[in-house]
Amino acid sequence: MLLLGLTGSIATGKSTVSALLSAPPYNLPIIDADLIARQVVEPGTPGYHAIVKHFLPTTPDLLLPDETPRGRPLNRPALGRRVFGKGEERERDRKVLNGIVHPAVRKEMYKQMIWAYLKGSWAVVLDVPLLFESGWERYCGTILVVGVTDAAIQIQRLRARDSHLTEEDAKNRVLSQGDVREKAERCKRRGKGWGEVVWNDGAREGLEAEIRRVMADVRRRSPWWWGFLLWVCPPVGALAAVRSWWLMKGAQARWEEEKKMREKARL
């Protein structure tokens, strides 16, 4: 089973691409890290209790007034203002939040991947905004980055979607997920067939055409008989997975080494 990593940055159109891949003619199962991240911090979950314990004493508006049988839901805009943006305190709080949410998200993602494999899916989409940053890159046979050429497009789309955000709030959220153009370059460095970039500056029709092009190439490189062989012969699937993991681990290491050299050259 092919693990197709889908990433980008906030307001680049990644959710639209995810919706396209889940619908005909692709019909691929989607493992949405953002959706799972919401589920693992719903009232009553261990993640919810950990967040409330750490942040409530210093964030009075952390909880919404609406009462549910399991407790008051998190006030996500208030939590977002606490962890997004620059500064040591915000970075520290963001690490705390990630340390609570990420392990629970990974556990649920593994469960859903196994279920997709048992159902015989030829591929599953891992929709992960911070795919490179979280280390999921090495597990993906192919990565698709959805990007825009100008961060101003992201800010405009984000404010149109979330009207409660100020210009500064939107900018902080865009900056917190890194430069999508750097992600695109990192994706292309994986090589043809291992990494694809879709630029989404224009209308939906153009995006749909790009997805058709990319998925035709992905399907050609992962034909139905190969997926069937991996499903009926797990040892072959395990060997293919190990080979892909090793190759992509090397690609990840090369990129990180090049990045260190570029940063050192600037000093």
What mean pLDDT is reported for the chain?
89
Residue that finishes a domain, picked among 118, 153, 187? 118
pLDDT-based confidence at residue 267 (cuts at 50, 70, 90): low
Q: What is the pLDDT of residues 78-120, one digit of tens each?
A: 888 888 877 888 888 889 998 999 899 999 999 999 999 888 8
Instruction: State whether 173 and 85 are in the same domain.
Output: no
Global confidence as pTM: 0.82
Tell me the average pLDDT across 169-174: 86
Domain holding 22, by residue range, is: 1-29+122-267
- Whole-number Å distance between alpha carbons of 218 and 232: 21
Positive or negative, the Cα torsion across 176, 73, 11, 25? Answer: positive
Query: Which residues on adjacent β-strands are paired with residue 22?
Result: none
Q: Which two tokens stand for residue 68?
A: 């549910």
Q: CATH number, domain at 243?
A: 3.40.50.300
Q: SS in 3 state form for 120-138?
A: CCCEEEEECCCCCCCCHHH
Q: Which residues contact 40 (CB under 8 A, 6 or more apart)?
A: 47, 101, 104, 105, 108
Report how far Cα 249 is from the mean position of its chain's Cα atoms: 18
Instruction: State whether 24 and 94 are in the same domain.
Output: no
Given a cut of 80, whether residue 266 has pLDDT beyond it is: no
Instruction: State whether 225 and 177 are in the same domain.
Output: yes
Instruction: State whether 229 and 139 are in the same domain.
Output: yes
- Provide the CB-side half-sphere exposure for 194 (13 A, CA): 19
Instruction: State whether 185 and 75 are in the same domain.
Output: no
The pLDDT score that the predictor gives to residue 22 is 96
Instruction: State whether 147 and 241 are in the same domain.
Output: yes
The alpha-helical segments, DSSP class H, found in 119-233 are 151-161, 167-176, 180-188, 204-221, 224-232
Residue that finishes a domain, picked among 118, 135, 155? 118
Instruction: State whether 55 and 168 are in the same domain.
Output: no
Positive or negative, the Cα torsion across 113, 119, 121, 125? Answer: negative
* Long-range contacts formed by 19-26: CB under 8 A, 24+ apart: 20/207, 20/208, 20/211, 21/125, 21/211, 21/215, 22/125, 26/215
Q: Which residues contact 39 (CB under 8 A, 6 or more apart)?
A: 45, 108
Instruction: State whether 49 and 175 are in the same domain.
Output: no
In the chain, count H helices and then E strands.
11, 5
The pLDDT score that the predictor gives to residue 265 is 78
Burial-class residue 185 by CB neighbours within 10 Å (0-12, 13-18, 19+).
Answer: middle
- Whole-number Å distance between alpha carbons of 183 and 186: 5
Q: What is the pLDDT of residues 33-81, one digit of tens each?
A: 989 999 999 999 999 999 999 999 888 899 988 878 888 999 988 888 8
Instruction: State whether 234 and 139 are in the same domain.
Output: yes
Instruction: State whether 64 and 156 are in the same domain.
Output: no
Instruction: State whether 155 and 264 are in the same domain.
Output: yes
Tell me the average pLDDT across 24-28: 95
Q: How many domains does the chain contain in total?
A: 2
pLDDT-based confidence at residue 195 (cuts at 50, 70, 90): very high
Residue that finishes a domain, picked among 55, 88, 118? 118
- Provide the CB-side half-sphere exposure for 154 (13 A, CA): 27
Burial-class residue 90 by CB neighbours within 10 Å (0-12, 13-18, 19+).
Answer: middle
- Whole-number Å distance between alpha carbons of 56 and 60: 6
Q: What percent of the chain has pLDDT over 90?
A: 45
The pLDDT score that the predictor gives to residue 223 is 86
Instruction: State whether 190 and 244 are in the same domain.
Output: yes
